[in-house]
Structure 1
Amino acid sequence: PYAERSFTAAVAVRTDPSSPTDQLALFLHLTPEATADPARALREIAGKVTREIGVSPSFLIPVARDAVPKTEIGKIQRTRLRKGFEAGDFDDEVRRTQLLLGTAATVPDWFLRPVWQRAERVGTRPTASGRHTLVLAGGDPQA
């Protein structure tokens, strides 16, 4: 009930051209009912998509009706939306949604920084002479 169906499009996008996988971007025009509490509406939309399709949208992009390009017969032009997204045309909308929903992408760089340090040994077991074991834990520090 929060999105106008004829102005809603699910589009596969890539934020990194070298990435081997696509991400799901939902372009949608919110109904007047959704504008009262857009954060709630967007969370419900994302939850419904995840439950019913099994894919969590990476981007929820509320747009005006005229931002959804259509053909002369009214078919949504997803390719134009994808190209616009990848060119940065929707960066402001994406950022506004991230701030509204408080996603991880809104945490400033100075607030969270990875620190690599030596970990305490837990339950050591003897190794053969001349052999060593190196264990690395954590995510990619470049990500």
Structure 2
Amino acid sequence: MADVDELANALGERLKARGETVAVAESSSGGLISAALLGVPGASKYYLGGAVVYTGKARMVLMDLPREAVAGMRSASEPYALLLARTARERFGATWGLSETGAAGPTGNGYGDAAGHTCIAISGPMEMAVTIETGESDRAANMTAFTAAALDLLQRALS
């Protein structure tokens, strides 16, 4: 994860310099996005908190998103990723909300998405959502790829 660590360090420095903050809601990356951001010295100046929203119950308990709020949304979709990013930003009062939701593998999810599929979103002064398809079934490699893609999206938003 050397590239992820380098990217997280650069993001941490940029967020600190700008006086901006981030909150994270992640799923199939399993906390690696938060871990990368928290691995930077001085992370408490920009990282407000995060949650691993891996199940429907976690969505309700950790993000306070009732079933009605996500009715008709697939969990590994750009609209759902945007909802998670917006909710994280709002709940923590952060400048930026960053989210990831997908299928790490080795198999896909119950919605027909293959392993290696994830949707990542950023919400703040601007919003973006992207879909990533690694084409891989290696769970650990996908988790790392999802983390790198999420940090890359945050970097693009800060540019």
* TM-score, with length taken from structure 2: 0.30
Q: Tell me which protein shows more strand as a share of its residues.
A: 2
Q: Tell me which protein shows more helix as a share of its residues.
A: 2
Task: Decide which structure has the larger Cα Rg and report it.
Answer: 1
* TM-score, with length taken from structure 1: 0.32
